[in-house]
Amino acid sequence: MTFHGPGQIMLYPIINLRSREIGVKQYVYLLEESCIQLLKELGIEAKRNCGFPGVWTEQGKIAALGVRVTRGVAFHGMALNVNIDPKWFAAINPCGLQLGVVSISDFTTPLPPLELAERWQFYFQSLV
């Protein structure tokens, strides 16, 4: 279970994986990598957590991932926590790991949402 709402930005590409010869695991990797690169630009050390989709910091999960693929076309994508109110996550346990949820604002002053979204899109497009 996850949450999408105020204080997050979304990267939800609709992309034909089949025509680009990209497998689902590779696509998930590309989504995660685009977010990791964006966070690195912001001075935030982020990584994958083997077996648990999304992007993580030492303090908790910073981006959630959910993909649906139908007939080779990927839908949905990722939600990056920019400045979330932690109460939204009080009723759920992301990935069941008890590691908590963090936002960009826990590490640094976030860029404006539109600028963050444009930077994230740039990193994603440079990978696919």
Q: List the domain range (segments joined by +) for residue 92.
A: 8-127
pLDDT of residue 93 exceeding 90: no
Each residue's pLDDT tens digit, 38-91: 999 999 999 998 778 899 999 999 999 989 999 999 998 899 999 998 887 777
Whichever domain contains 106, its CATH number is: 3.30.930.10
Which among 95, 99, 117, 128 is annotated as catalytic? 95
List the alpha helices (DSSP H) in 1-128. Answer: 17-20, 24-41, 113-127
The answer to whether residue 47 is domain-embedded is yes
In a domain, 2, yes or no: no
Output the pLDDT for position 97: 60
The whole model's pTM is what? Answer: 0.90
In a domain, 3, yes or no: no
Q: Is residue 106 assigned to a domain? A: yes
Determine, yes or no, domain membership for 70: yes
Q: Does the residue 1 lie in any domain?
A: no
Higher-pLDDT residue of 92, 96: 92
Residues in a beta bridge with 67: 76
Angle, CA 75 vertex, CA 69 and CA 78 arms, to 5°: 115
Report the number of distinct structural domains present in the chain. 1
Residue 78 included in any domain: yes
Q: Residue 123 above 80 pLDDT?
A: yes
Residue 95: active-site member: yes
What lies within 8 Å, CB to CB, of 14 at 6+ separation is: 73, 74, 75
Q: What is residue 13's predicted lDDT score, i.e. its pLDDT?
A: 93
